[in-house]
Chains A and B, each alone.
Chain A
Amino acid sequence: MTITESPGTEIGSPRRRKEDARLITGRTTWTENVTLPGMLHLAILRSPMAHARITSIDVSPALETKGVVAAFSGRDVADVQGSLPCAWPVTEDMVHPDRPPIAVDEVRFMGEAVAVVAARSRAAALDAIAAIEVDYEALPVVLDMEQAIAEGADLVHADKGTNKGYTWVFDSAEAGTGGDAGAAIDDAEVVIRRRYVQQRLIPAFMEPRSVVVDPTGDVYTMWSATQIPHILRFLLAVVTGTPEHKVRVIAPDVGGGFGGKLQVTPEELIAFIAAKRLGKPVKYTESRSESLVSAHHGRDVIQDLELAARRDGTVTGLRVKLLANMGAYMGLVGPGVPILGAFMYNAIYKFPAYRFECSGIFTNTTITDAYRGAGRPEATYAIERIMDELAVELGLDPLEVRERNWINADEFPFTTVCGLAYDSGDYAKATDRAKELFGYDELRQEQQARRDTGDSVQLGIGISTYTEMCGLAPSRVLGALRYGAGGWETASVRMLPTGRVEVVTGTSPHGQGHETAWSQIVADQLGVGFDDIEVLHGDTRTSYKGLDTYGSRSLAVGGVALYNACQKVIDKAKPIAAHMLECDPADLEFTGGQFRVRGNPDGGRTLADCALAVFAAHDLPDGIEPTLDADAVYDPVNFSFPHGTHLCATEVDTETGRVTIRKYVAVDDIGKVINPLIVEGQVHGGIAQGIAQALFEEAVYDADGNLMTGTFVDYTLPTAADLPTLVTDRTESPAPDHPLGTKGVGEAGTIASTPAVVNAIVDALRPMGVNDIAMPCTPERVWRAIQGGAA
């Protein structure tokens, strides 16, 4: 595939977003805004216990409450409610316990649904669930992953006989993609061993999840605040036994996801079951407290790394062992999240040998699943932290160690020790640009001066030279990894008789601005106006086929489908234009939205002319189908590999432990850019979430398995006052496998920023003997590390 220069001016332009008009005026449709005649409101009673047997449950008191229409427990629907799906059984023998949407006999995490009320108002439903009587018999609670797999441990699922859900291994020697990591470690001049802990995080999208189900005749229409309307429709049909053509899913405007809405949820199935049972439309919208305890969490991984190197800083091997907390059940793609990271621990480096082993562990906690970056932030954090440790061990500058090991610009495409073919990049260029914007040498001098004077506020510099993989995914690769679906994406372009264009995409945006960026692409390809294009998405009736939005795939995969569909429209229009111009199609060229006879700038025909011609169909060439509409499905040939260099300077008050980010520079290389304004926004937001992991956020359970961070009072999302102003820039290594040269940017900031911040904090405190601080690096933890280090 070759990269075509865009014939128009839209691509690369900082277009203001089409989506904004409805969002800044309060005139949009969130699922919670959908109201239907006769609609009932659901409330869900949730388990207050992390692990217990339900010895009795009586919903009848709820039925006596004013306004209540129905109430049911898991037992009442046990034979119809099915089990929540897992689409990624990563090993053949993975333990996949049944997960009924409403618990029947046993609850396994705090917040699990145990009963449901349907009432005339939300208030009545909430009043009524308080009347439901449940008796629980407490069971032992399993929380710690290492204890969970120790001999004689209590079990989350007694019938499974183990808390270990799976063990998945990649070994470069076995795969034939590299050497033997064990041998490299045994023979190494230097071995660095570290344990890093990825604390549990909560995606915390701003729009709480909401679902409306309308049963009309034998068709069920579901509105849901989801990232995955297409996958949801398919799985709803499968899980509930409803014919697929009788299920329609609509994702209207969706208020953020970050992976957190990449799930088929108990609440969606509960609403479906209730609507079917009652024959009435129902709505369920979670409260924030319910969201924090029942929507899936992210991260929660213990990482043990062994890095082997020569004394000159050349890495000779890496061995990684993970324990990944699955929570009480397997989420939709939860078991696969660490596997997405498995291929990224070698990062931008030419490691010759690598072994990765991950076990997924059950505990009595909320399930974990995809959260922005999904596996790649964990990998990037660990490797970028330990590369700093190697530099310290060898007395080298951390940038020097990285440079010694990274893939050089002239070595692309480069096949890594994992067998992935990195497509393009220039790590030195991005790093040089970042150093320049950052004032790297000046800040190093200031750091030394502060160390020399024993300043109570120490300066640290953190580096993160990351890469990641976007564009999920070549379907064959997903198949080889035992993922349940493919990785293709679709687009349709419909030419209306007036020359306006409707674009249907199988991606499902929830803040990413696809309506704007997709319009820019189509405008340039077809030579039609930006405002003459409408992008349709998120309704399985208009967009019947697609694989939705996650993993920075929409532009990287869906963008190619869109480009290809546009080319098909042009191909279809060409003989029609030739007929109108009374020439041979081979003599026509299409530029600037016009078919013209080559060498003759006058008298062209636009696509709009052709669209009108096929609408009338009065005078078309013989045998021509009267339509210009085109569909395309694209299955990517490879992932794309954005990269970049992030530099962070932190000031650490050694007396209070307070960390202030003084300067943050991000130079990202995401290939060609469609809309730099949207890209900048993605980078800002991504970095903010990565900083949040480094400094602020953690989902905490007490010893009984109660989520202690169950509201926004305790789960501390950063505010505007907590975050710095970021300096961003880009270098540009076009993606060779994409006709527009784009790679993907949705997760880059989150993947890159966490290690940059923590490396900076640790760097500030090295002279005090500190070489690690657990995340989030709160003032207390930093202060304690200083005390411990100094002691």
Chain B
Amino acid sequence: MTRVSIKVDGVEYEDDVEPRTLLVHHLRERLGKVGTVVGCDTSNCGACTVLMSDADGHQQGVKSCAVLAVQADDREITTIEGLSGPDNTLHPVQRAFHEAHGLQCGFCTPGMIMAAVDLLEENSDPSEQEIREGLEGNLCRCTGYQNIVRAVRAASEEIRRSGGDAEPAAPSPLAGEGHTPDSGLPRQSVPDETIPQPVP
């Protein structure tokens, strides 16, 4: 057993782990962070993507099935569960996935959202092609990716509009009039010309 100290979603955890334990299993089975899921066993699907700080404290996307828990010792991890603001305000990327219908079954979504956050951190204004290539490490079986790409574009615009700050911002233009701060989700549907309207 090896003692590790890992800060996850703002909380410090100290645990003894088997050296072979994968970070994703540590997160799920020991820390109860079941928002992060496992979709494969070959690091292809990216469903387990989280942000992990490097030695300089800079957070980057990693597939938590490809990292040992001991490698995360003294590092800071952000999972999908810690992405929202302190008052549960959604991150712009979360909000954009909802608005653009960027998820169906939702199983790839935690990893897809974390990968998108990571992508926008590196490139605040990605083109459609850059988004497609940037998310190549994350598989989705439901959406055909089109609305995921649309969501990431929308999130990048919102983040840039709010001054490049990816922290949860004040009411989002995406959320529209019906936005209620308690849930962070719009309560009214918002007409959007980029999505199909009923055929007249």
Contacts and interface: CB of A to CB of B under 8 A. Distances in A.
B44 interface: yes
Nearest to B99: A16
Contacts of B140: 206, 720
A732 interface: yes
B101 A511 contact: no
A262 to B, nearest CB: 15
A643 interface: no
A684 B109 contact: no
A22 B79 CA distance: 14
B162 interface: no
Interface in B76-111: 79-81, 83-84, 88, 90, 94, 97-99, 101, 103-110
Contacts of B34: 26, 30, 32-33
B44 A24 contact: no
B37 interface: yes
A268 B42 CA distance: 25
A684 B146 contact: yes
Nearest to A686: B144
A511 B104 contact: yes
Contacts of B190: 16
A287 B41 contact: yes
Contacts of A22: 106
B128 interface: yes
B199 A680 contact: no
B148 A28 contact: no
B173 to A, nearest CB: 15
Q: Interface range on chain A: under 10, 10 to 19, 20 to 34, or 35 or more?
A: 35 or more
B18 interface: yes
B45 A712 contact: yes
A485 B34 CA distance: 37
B37 A32 contact: yes
A159 to B, nearest CB: 36
B71 interface: no
B200 to A, nearest CB: 9
A711 B192 contact: no
B31 interface: no
B80 to A, nearest CB: 4
23 contacts: A12-B198, A21-B183, A21-B185, A25-B90, A26-B33, A26-B80, A27-B81, A28-B35, A206-B47, A206-B140, A208-B39, A256-B104, A287-B41, A288-B42, A676-B197, A681-B143, A711-B42, A711-B44, A712-B44, A717-B141, A720-B135, A721-B133, A729-B196
B114 to A, nearest CB: 10
Interface string A162-204: 0000000000000000000000000000000000000000001
A684 B143 contact: yes
B106 A28 contact: yes
Interface in B160-189: 183, 185-187, 189
B198 A676 contact: yes
Contacts of B88: 25
A311 B186 CA distance: 59
B185 to A, nearest CB: 6
B195 A206 contact: no
Nearest to A672: B198
A194 B3 CA distance: 65
Contacts of B143: 681, 684-685, 688
B144 A684 contact: yes
Interface in B28-87: 29, 33-42, 44-45, 47, 79-81, 83-84
Q: What 8 pairs across the A-B complex have the smallest Cβ distances?
A: A26-B35, A255-B107, A23-B106, A511-B105, A688-B144, A26-B80, A712-B44, A684-B144
A600 interface: no
A280 interface: no
A410 to B, nearest CB: 20
Contacts of A721: 132-133, 135-136
Contacts of A676: 195-198
Interface in B112-166: 113, 128, 131-133, 135-149
A13 B190 CA distance: 9
Contacts of A680: 101, 147, 195-196
Given A255-B106, A720-B131, A288 B101 contact: no
Contact of A677 (B39, B80, B136, B195): B195
Given A288-B42, A720-B140, 14 more contacts: A24-B80, A24-B106, A25-B81, A25-B83, A25-B90, A26-B80, A206-B142, A287-B40, A288-B40, A676-B198, A686-B144, A711-B40, A719-B145, A730-B196
- Could you say which of A289, A513, A681 has the most chain B C-beta atoms within 10 Å of its C-beta? A681
A91 B136 CA distance: 46
Contacts of A28: 35, 106
Nearest to A510: B105
Given A24-B90, A25-B84, A206 B39 contact: yes
